[in-house]
Structure 1
Amino acid sequence: MEIAAFGVEEWLNEWEKEAIYDIAGSSIDSLTLRDILEIGGASQAAFLEDLWAKKMNYGWIEGSPAFKEEVRKLYQNVEVSQILQTNGATGANHLALYALIEKGDHVISLYPSYQQLYDIPRSLGAEVSLWQIREEDAWLPSLDDLRAMIRPNTKMICINNANNPTGAVMERPFLEELVAIAREVGAYILSDEVYKPLDTRFDVPAIVDLYEKGISVNSMSKTYSVAGVRVGWVVANDELSNLFRKYRDYTMICAGVVDDALATYVLQHKEAVLERNRSIVAENLNVVKDWVKHEPRVSLIDPSAVPVSFIKLDIPEETETFCLRLLQEKGVLLVPGNRFDRPGYARLGYCTQTETLKKGLTLLSECLRQYD
């Protein structure tokens, strides 16, 4: 099969290790293994003793009962039978698409978004319509556009909520209208929800809690700051979950007993992690807002308390060329917007360590001054 090169991953794979000030990433400042153990306080010793005794076999194929129970608590109307552990959210997205999409199907995908959501369906022979986000609508797409695009044979609508790269979020009223449109033709909705907003002012239910044909994907990578624990999950109705089980046997056996144990431990202490991460998001977003206010060549539609943002650059130079020079001259890494089919913009991952962010923004401004 043919598949397009993964634009963002190609860029990061090539340049990430050369960055001194990496403000391109999409996770909240990653926890160390020591950090993970310390969040549990008195339970740390018991966790380690249990870990030392684990046999390095395949473990629980679909995820341990303790892991599934913690994931179940993240949803309103989900049973453990509906939860399948995957190798990250990428594994979950791939599984759902691999199991459901066939040649000739019609798929609608939010665009730009995570590239899996439109290029995997294309590679499987589906006809993919791109549901464009709009800067003038705070980077949300138009539901009227969706109504015009949807067909009686539309098989699936793919979204990521909040959006990567912009940080825009579809809240409950928008999602309810989206579900009504999908339900009219019986289309599935695959929702990559790894960037769920950390600010409780945003009402963003999981799609599986809103729609009987909703498929929710999440992972430990973004909100929970442990991308090195390669654990994600997919949640759907029992009929879909049973279908995914069959296809999952061809894509993975298990996520690994150590990763499962660490993921479970983090989820058991998620409130401590979320409190830490809310603080990072709030502080660093204020840093970015203040910087934008004083940087005449940059504008920004604020992200919705998630770790990605999409800055607009007022420069007379091709974006990728500028971003590469910024890295080579200043050691600062951004993701150029053309990797999302949006030249003139760049993804700014602002939830790194605060001092790294401040220094990176200062050096970015220095590079922008050459155009004044």
Structure 2
Amino acid sequence: MDMPTIGVEEWLNVWERSATTDIAQSTIASLTMAELRALDGADGAEFYELLDRETMNYGWIEGSPAFKHEVKGLYRKDIDPADILQTNGCTGANLNALMALVSPGDHVIAEWPTYAPLYEIPRALGAEVEYWQIKEELDWNPDIKDLERLIRPDTRLICINNASNPIGTILSTDTLHQLAEIAASVGAYVLCDEVYQPMDGEAEYESIVDVYERGIATNSVSKTYSTPGARCGWVIAPREVSDRIRVCRDYTMICGGVFSDALGTYVLRHRDAILARNRDILLRNRELAQRWIDAQPRVSWVAPKGVSTAFVRLDIPEKDETFCRRLLERRGVLLVPGSRFELPCGARLGYCAQTEVLRRGLALFGEELAEFDR
């Protein structure tokens, strides 16, 4: 397959280890192992009990019953555990689902711009990909009327990212239901990357699998649950699709691994404590970032709806990548240029870093912006 580099990943692979102040990431302040052990009130005894009774074989190929039980509890719909398949993060979930669904010549509609694999993988698989474009004048939401114009009788799949990376916007429930109706009118599937889930109680939010019978949800413990090191995700799909995903998994991963399964199960079992911790970080940091943005003549944003990824618009007389490189080289601060998401003149701001890291990063970011006005 002819696949381009993922702009954001290439940027981070090259530059993130050079940073002394990282405010580029979209995970909510990753948990340390000490924090993870503290979740059960017994220094991780529960996790080690889960792990100690396992042998380091392949384990449960599709994810353990305990893992599937925890995932099932995240959704309103009564999901058959056979339709929950464990993957290597949400990235693996998207890859396997798209490989199972897309064939050469298929018509695919993809939200754009957003996380590149959602449109680049279908294109690499030989699909005709058309963009359902997000619009700045709609606070970075797509227009449902545009989807109505794009849909065709032969549309195979619609790909969306809800919440959107890097913008942090969330499709309203009304838009999601309209999307499902449009997809149903031609029998199309809808794949929704749901790795960023709102936690402030302000945003309307539903999973695609709770809305649409041909909905496919991908997710992981990486972002909302602050454990990207676990590489533990999942895909939920209708049986005719989940059976095809089973075949793809055998080629791409076989299994997630005993350790990742145990850690993913433990994290989801203690999700209430993790979400409470992360809600505090998110609300505190979003307020801090908003105050900073209000004082910056060259920065604006559409405030993210309770999720950990955000995009700031930059009013600067040079390319965003040039500025972000200089910010890193001179002040040690890491952002991801918006152009790496095909959103020039901006940057992804990882505002859910540890609060002191964010405070320091924003101060240095502001100092560099002030150089334009000297």
User: Could you state the TM-score of these two structures normalised by the residue count of structure 2?
Assistant: 0.98
Q: Partners in 2 of 1:245 and 1:145 — Cα distance? A: 34
CA drift at 1:62: 0.4
- Counterpart of 2:281 in structure 1 is 280
Q: Could you tell which deviates more after superposition, 173-182 or 195-204?
A: 195-204
- Counterpart of 1:72 in structure 2 is 72
SS at match of 2:147: helix
Runs of 5+ unmatched residues, structure 2: none
- Counterpart of 1:126 in structure 2 is 127
Matched, 1:107 2:100: no
Q: Is the 8 A contact 2:202 2:305 kept in 1?
A: no
- Spell out, residue by residue over 1:285-339, the C-alpha distance to the aligned partner (whole angstroms, 9 max, x if none): 0010000010111011111111111101111011100100000000001110111
Q: Partners in 2 of 1:92 and 1:51 — Cα distance? A: 24
Q: Partners in 2 of 1:176 and 1:258 — Cα distance? A: 38
- Counterpart of 1:241 in structure 2 is 242
Q: Partners in 2 of 1:50 and 1:62 — Cα distance? A: 17
Matches within 5 A, 1:151-230: 151-230=152-231
Q: Is the 8 A contact 2:249 2:255 kept in 1?
A: no
CA drift at 1:237: 1.6
- Spell out, residue by residue over 1:164-183, the C-alpha distance to the aligned partner (whole angstroms, 9 max, x if none): 01000012111000101111
- Counterpart of 2:58 in structure 1 is 58
Runs of 5+ unmatched residues, structure 1: none
Q: Partners in 1 of 2:168 and 2:25 — Cα distance? A: 13
Give the residue type in structure 1 aligned to 2:260. D
- Counterpart of 1:4 in structure 2 is 4
- Counterpart of 1:22 in structure 2 is 22
CA drift at 1:200: 2.3
Name the count of aligned residue pairs: 372
- Percent sequence identity over aligned pairs: 55
- Counterpart of 1:341 in structure 2 is 342
Q: Partners in 1 of 2:13 and 2:290 — Cα distance? A: 29
- Counterpart of 2:321 in structure 1 is 320
Q: Partners in 2 of 1:256 and 1:35 — Cα distance? A: 22
CA drift at 1:42: 3.8
- Counterpart of 2:142 in structure 1 is 141
Q: Partners in 2 of 1:81 and 1:2 — Cα distance? A: 33
- Counterpart of 1:329 in structure 2 is 330
Q: Partners in 1 of 2:264 and 2:50 — Cα distance? A: 14
SS at match of 2:152: coil
Q: Is the 8 A contact 2:36 2:44 kept in 1?
A: no
- Spell out, residue by residue over 1:34-57, the C-alpha distance to the aligned partner (whole angstroms, 9 max, x if none): 111111114832432442342111
Q: Partners in 2 of 1:298 and 1:214 — Cα distance? A: 37
CA drift at 1:81: 1.5
Q: Alpha carbon RMSD of aligned pairs, Å?
A: 1.0
Q: Partners in 2 of 1:331 and 1:146 — Cα distance? A: 42
Q: Partners in 2 of 1:49 and 1:70 — Cα distance? A: 17
Q: Partners in 1 of 2:245 and 2:158 — Cα distance? A: 18
CA drift at 1:241: 1.3
Q: Is the 8 A contact 2:171 2:205 kept in 1?
A: yes
Give the residue type in structure 2 aligned to 1:52. D
- Counterpart of 1:231 in structure 2 is 232
SS at match of 2:111: strand
- Counterpart of 1:13 in structure 2 is 13
SS at match of 2:170: coil
Matches within 5 A, 1:75-86: 75-77=75-77, 78-86=79-87
Give the residue type in structure 1 aligned to 2:232. V
CA drift at 1:370: 1.2
Q: Partners in 2 of 1:79 and 1:267 — Cα distance? A: 18
Q: Partners in 2 of 1:207 and 1:49 — Cα distance? A: 34
- Spell out, residue by residue over 1:76-95, the C-alpha distance to the aligned partner (whole angstroms, 9 max, x if none): 11121210000000100001
Q: Partners in 2 of 1:321 and 1:200 — Cα distance? A: 37
Q: Partners in 1 of 2:47 and 2:170 — Cα distance? A: 36
- Counterpart of 1:264 in structure 2 is 265
Q: Is the 8 A contact 2:113 2:341 kept in 1?
A: yes
- Spell out, residue by residue over 1:224-259, the C-alpha distance to the aligned partner (whole angstroms, 9 max, x if none): 000000110000122221221122211111111111
Q: Partners in 1 of 2:219 and 2:31 — Cα distance? A: 18
Q: Is the 8 A contact 2:23 2:350 kept in 1?
A: yes
